[in-house]
Chain A
């Protein structure tokens, strides 16, 4: 695993194994906050930031747990670390950008229960990445999430103008589009290897 180059780690996390479209992590905000391009882009930014912070924390926690020989505490300590990181980011955004705080609404605290963040912590530990590799992996995963949610929101803005039967409106059509996006992202397989 140590032989993976940094650029490959980035491309792998962002495109080939896109967190949203191939690993199904972070589906809730992907469906919930992708109505407007603007909000989606900000959400992508916020998630990327939280990912970077929690990746660093998770790396430290994992090192500490290995030293303590207490692997059964891994899940509990990860989630506590992530929850505190999200709380910090929330306070930070509330202070510096109340408009963004309003726009993100309920989804900001829900980043805590965003599987993408915890998934990232678990995957980077499972893959035994070192510190720099973990950071690059977190950044790639965040970029991949932002990319997916921005593409989706762009499509949904177009969709609002389209004439659709009532039956398919809402989540159902979003999932169908996500399926097609997922197929198209499969085209990235083999890139960078």
Chain B
């Protein structure tokens, strides 16, 4: 989407990393990878684990895709990328299972579903397949951090409002009546919709300010 203006001026390394955090945030701006964003953000811990697992897969697949970008024939590139991604998702899946069975259980099938997270395939196709390893890694890390940040944005709001806790620690007093809807599926849609409103508002305001300056 916004790759066009990137091609015009060669971006600096810092820029490659930072764009994933805000300007091209995979969730809030590109609206990619919605399924895990909505499904596992009912608690802060789940959000963080999911974000880290996705970042790991983004990172490793960026390394492999950019390393083999000249070897993989164009016709089978998507299939090859998916194979690379699926391998590392399996790795992440087994590692999380070994570290914490409880978290693994609460993430369930969504951990395996990282394979079909459009963010990862999208970055492999749009960035890693055309850039050097160094740049791809920076891009992947930026996107991963941006993705984790977005998951946290949802996770914090949903857990605090829906359960009165933050990462399992009670933060709101007992007199607070939890908003059950926030931990239900509907709450995920509402909170993400709310964040998008906020982002729209911020970019709209920025545009207006630039118009005034010009």
State the Cβ distance, B189 to closest chain A Cβ, in Å.
3
Confirm or deny: A159 has a beta carbon within 8 angstroms of a beta carbon on chain B. Answer: no
Residues of chain B with a CB closer than 8 A to A110's CB? 118
Having A25-B113, A76-B86, A115-B117, one finds 13 other A-B pairs with CB under 8 Å, namely A28-B32, A75-B86, A75-B90, A79-B82, A80-B82, A112-B82, A118-B112, A118-B116, A166-B204, A175-B193, A175-B196, A176-B189, A179-B190
Query: In the complex, are the beta carbons of B34 and A173 less than 8 A apart?
Result: no
CA distance A183 to B190 in the complex (A): 11
CA distance A42 to B94 in the complex (A): 38
Contact among A21, A24, A79, A172 with B196 in the assembled complex (CB-CB below 8 Å): A172
Query: In the complex, are the beta carbons of B196 and A115 less than 8 A apart?
Result: no
Q: A24-B35, A28-B118, A115-B113 are in contact. Are A175 and B181 (CB under 8 A)?
A: no
Query: In the complex, are the beta carbons of A183 and B186 less than 8 A apart?
Result: yes
Confirm or deny: B49 has a beta carbon within 8 angstroms of a beta carbon on chain A. Answer: no
Number of contacting residues on B, CB 8 A?
Answer: 39
CA distance A182 to B185 in the complex (A): 7
Within 8 A of B (CB), among A101-131: 109-110, 112-115, 117-119, 122-123, 126
Number of contacting residues on A, CB 8 A?
Answer: 43
CA distance A80 to B116 in the complex (A): 12
State the Cβ distance, A77 to closest chain B Cβ, in Å.
9
Query: In the complex, are the beta carbons of A179 and B86 less than 8 A apart?
Result: no
Confirm or deny: B141 has a beta carbon within 8 angstroms of a beta carbon on chain A. Answer: no
State the Cβ distance, A116 to closest chain B Cβ, in Å.
9
Confirm or deny: A99 has a beta carbon within 8 angstroms of a beta carbon on chain B. Answer: no
Confirm or deny: A63 has a beta carbon within 8 angstroms of a beta carbon on chain B. Answer: no
Q: A166-B204, A179-B187 are in contact. Are A31 and B31 (CB under 8 A)?
A: yes
Query: In the complex, are the beta carbons of A167 and B201 less than 8 A apart?
Result: yes
Within 8 A of A (CB), among B106-162: 109, 112-113, 115-118, 121
Contact among A76, A109, A122, A178 with B78 in the assembled complex (CB-CB below 8 Å): A109
Confirm or deny: A168 has a beta carbon within 8 angstroms of a beta carbon on chain B. Answer: yes
State the Cβ distance, A57 to closest chain B Cβ, in Å.
15
Confirm or deny: A27 has a beta carbon within 8 angstroms of a beta carbon on chain B. Answer: yes
Confirm or deny: B21 has a beta carbon within 8 angstroms of a beta carbon on chain A. Answer: no
Confirm or deny: A23 has a beta carbon within 8 angstroms of a beta carbon on chain B. Answer: yes
Confirm or deny: A193 has a beta carbon within 8 angstroms of a beta carbon on chain B. Answer: no
Confirm or deny: A186 has a beta carbon within 8 angstroms of a beta carbon on chain B. Answer: yes
Residues of chain B with a CB closer than 8 A to A22's CB? 185
